[in-house]
Amino acid sequence: MTTTAIPEGARNGTGIPASGRWSRMVGTLAGILLGLVLLASAWTKGVDPAGFAEQIVRLGLLPPGLANWGGILVIGLEAGLGLALVAGLRSRPVLAAVTLLMAGFVAITAWEFVHPLEDYSSCGCFGNLVQRTPGQALAEDIGFLLLALLSWAGRPQRLPRWRWVLLPLGFAAGVGLAVLAPSLPLDDLATRLRPGVTVASLRIDEIVPELQEGTHLVLLLDRADEATRAEIPRVNEHLALVGGPVDVFGLAEENEELEVEFLWTAGPAFDVRGAPWSLLKPLYRSLPRSFLVKDGVVVRVWNGIPPDEDLDRLAAGKVP
């Protein structure tokens, strides 16, 4: 009596050889993980598109006139590809685009690793909100590139047509977020500065160690902005010259020329200290921005310089 060999695919009940089944599982899982990474990346860049554009300019990738639109397109691309991968749209065009995108991020972070900027700001996948060293950014982006390569494994030959709708849908959502975000109240989500965080976690104590004790108002300033300069006398009059229980400090990007010019034109009656852009940028979407610190903990944040009534409360030793 002879026996008929049973195909391996029939033995496991799937109709697919065991090796093909595992390959498809690996590719699917890698695609989903990478899709989630891309969606997170689109979000962190999309909530502060101006910051992402400034980062592009500082890295020399695009001139200022093109950086805003270039950044918005990258955000839309990441959102579209991320949504497509999470939904399982592992088509050849999608996987090729994702792989090229990840390779591009690796190339940028590798260049930064070999030729670090004096004021380093992580570009990688997550923009400047997620702070990483050049080595960390390169290692993580290499990991994401490996995920992109693994997502090719067991690529399905046929895909439901409805999944293709997700690609332009995600792109439109990413672009929409980037366009609308500046006018939306997303600062607590888009920055690391929010009530409850410590100045140590923000590394501000490295610039102003006095913040660890007592109550202090800190102003994040653009020393080149004329409107900000016009606001400084108001802070002097209501708080800085009063000599009450709340001290005032200013923080601005390091620039010796602007430091002298700001001192003579704005006349701050408080200490304004310079800090690296890479340390300050995760704390704001637009300047000025202010926050109150009590014993090393942020207790209140204002978008802009506090109004007169809040400055008067602070001068009286009251927390607004």
Q: Would you state the pLDDT for residue 118?
A: 61
For residue 82, being part of any structural domain is answered with yes
Q: Which domain holds residue 173?
A: 17-184
Residue 88 sits in the same domain as residue 209: no
pLDDT at 129: 63
Q: What is the pLDDT of residue 113?
A: 81
Residues 178 and 205 placed together within one structural domain of the fold:
no
- Does some domain include residue 3? no
What is the model's pLDDT at position 85?
Answer: 95
User: By three-state DSSP, how is residue 217 classified?
Assistant: strand
Q: Rounded distance, CA 286 to CA 51, Å?
A: 9
**Do 25 and 95 share a domain, yes or no?**
yes
Residues in the chain predicted with pLDDT less than 70, given as ranges, are: 1-19, 117-131
Q: What is the CATH number of the domain that holds 277?
A: 3.40.30.10
pLDDT, position 128: 60
How many helices (H) does the chain have, and how many strands (E)? Answer: 13, 5
Distance CA 115, CA 165 (A): 41
| Tens of pLDDT, residues 163-201 | 889 999 999 999 999 999 999 998 988 899 999 999 999
Say what the pLDDT of residue 1 is: 44
Does one domain contain both 160 and 214? no
Are 164 and 276 found together in one domain? no
- According to the model, what pLDDT value does residue 14 have? 45
In total, how many domains does the chain have? 2
Nearest to 75 by CA among 60, 108, 53, 90: 53
Tens-place pLDDT, residues 216-252 = 999 999 999 999 999 999 999 999 998 789 999 999 9
Domain finish residue from 184, 208, 224: 184
CB 282 within 8 A of CB 192: yes
| Same domain flag for 174 and 239 | no
Q: 158: burial class by Cβ within 10 Å (0-12, 13-18, 19+)?
A: exposed
* The pLDDT value given to residue 127: 59
